């Protein structure tokens, strides 16, 4: 198979922990061709198919110089057997436009994972609304008064922007309400930006668990991102410590309920964020955790991913 990874520039990869790299390595080990491009390479012209300047690469197995480029060629995306959208957040306008180009490529015959329309329909924080039965008390609003009322009810809350990633822009406000007004002004910019507010979950001290779903099936281990020191954020990008652990009974209940629904919507790879017993986010853009789970438990997430992917590709 020819597999195209639409991803961030290769020189930016941290291969010791990069899930896209883990997918590439597994694909090459199975004899598949690994091709790459960035969203900036995508283009469409009337009378032609969606195409991009693609790199066909070979993974060297070395830490330095981890890949070599075998060839570079402008090709229509439908010439690939599968297109894996692995561009990291943020989900900004350019990401949005890229999903439209990928949707057109899909109309032309490309098999794109995750489905581009599903990516547009499931912004990572707002996707929670469809599964409110599993969520902690949550408010999505532009209204400062609504945030203050939510705080008055729940006393200890987390506020975050809808377009944040890696723990960026997350604030905790305790019962004393210290700096609540300033935080609201910062996040909602006088009513111009929508924000999310959630009840603080003390179980964060045991970790913000990333539960992976592959074509609706849960990976049997979660990666708990545990805050360090006085930090309230467990995100690895914010200094959290990643600890792989078997799914709890509640994790499995949530995953088994949501998995088939999300897979049916075209979301092949999903990362559920669960704190304690509560779902907090649904990550669909570029879920990670493959390497940490593999390194700590021996469970090969990339192999599970590639097994499931090849089942989706005729004559793979």
Of 225, 235, 291, 292, which is the active-site residue?
Answer: 225
**Sign of the Cα pseudo-torsion (229, 231, 234, 235, in order):** negative
233 included as an active-site residue: yes
Exactly one of 111, 209, 210, 291 is catalytic; name it.
210
Q: Identify the residue whose tokens are 């004559």.
A: 315
In the annotation, is 307 catalytic?
no
83/3 Cα distance (integer angstroms): 6
Q: Determine which one of 26, 124, 208, 273 is catalytic.
A: 273
Token pair of 173 as six digits: 């406000």
Catalytic residue among 86, 125, 199, 209: 125
Among 233, 235, 251, 292, the one annotated catalytic: 233
> Of the listed 26, 81, 124, 281, which one is catalytic?
281
- For residue 196, give both structure tokens: 């999310």
Is residue 160 annotated as part of the catalytic site, yes or no?
A: yes
Q: Known catalytic residue: 225?
A: yes
Is 210 an active-site residue? yes
Our answer to whether residue 273 is catalytic in this structure is yes
| Residue among 115, 283, 291, 292 flagged as catalytic | 283
Catalytic pick from 25, 86, 111, 160?
Answer: 160
Q: Token pair for residue 205?
A: 């001290």
Instruction: Return the SS3 of 306.
Output: helix
CA distance 201 to 305: 31
Confirm whether 108 is a catalytic residue: no
> Would you call 276 exposed, middle or buried from its count of C-beta atoms within 10 A (0-12, 13-18, 19+)?
middle
Distances (CA, A) of 223 to 72, 79, 150, 284, 312: 36, 35, 30, 16, 26
Render the burial of 165-199: b for 16+ CB within 10 Å, e for the rest. Answer: bebebbbebeeeeeebeebbeebbeeeeebbbbbb
* C-alpha dihedral, 69 to 71 to 73 to 78, nearest 10°: -80
Residues annotated catalytic, as ranges: 125, 160, 210, 225, 233, 273, 281, 283
């Amino acid at each position: 198979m020819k597999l195209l990874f639409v991803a961030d520039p290769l020189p930016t990869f941290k291969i010791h922990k990069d899930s896209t790299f883990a997918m590439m390595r597994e694909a090459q080990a199975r004899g598949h061709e690994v091709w790459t491009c960035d969203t900036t390479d995508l283009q469409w012209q009337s009378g032609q198919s969606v195409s991009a300047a693609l790199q066909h690469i070979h993974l060297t197995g070395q830490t330095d110089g981890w890949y070599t480029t075998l060839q570079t060629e402008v090709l229509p995306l439908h010439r690939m057997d599968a297109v894996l959208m692995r561009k990291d957040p943020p989900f900004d306008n350019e990401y949005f436009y890229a999903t439209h180009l990928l949707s057109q490529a899909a109309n032309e015959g490309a098999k794109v994972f995750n489905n581009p329309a599903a990516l547009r329909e499931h912004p990572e924080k707002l996707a929670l609304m469809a599964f409110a039965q599993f969520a902690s008390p949550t408010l999505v609003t532009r209204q400062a008064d609504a945030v203050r009322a939510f705080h008055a009810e729940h006393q200890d809350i987390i506020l975050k922007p809808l377009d944040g990633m890696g723990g960026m822009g997350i604030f905790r406000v305790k019962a004393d309400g210290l700096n609540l007004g300033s935080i609201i002004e910062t996040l909602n910019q006088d009513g111009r930006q929508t924000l999310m507010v959630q009840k603080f979950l003390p179980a964060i001290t045991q970790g913000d668990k990333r539960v992976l779903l592959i074509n609706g099936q849960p990976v049997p281990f979660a990666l708990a991102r545990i805050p360090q020191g006085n930090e309230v954020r467990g995100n690895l990008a914010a200094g959290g410590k990643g600890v792989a652990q078997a799914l709890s009974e509640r994790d499995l209940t949530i995953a088994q309920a949501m998995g088939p629904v999300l897979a049916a919507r075209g979301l092949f790879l999903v990362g559920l964020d669960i704190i304690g017993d509560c779902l907090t986010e649904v990550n669909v853009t570029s879920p990670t955790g493959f390497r940490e789970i593999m390194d700590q438990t021996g469970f090969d997430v990339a192999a599970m991913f590639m097994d499931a992917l090849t089942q989706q590709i005729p004559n793979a």
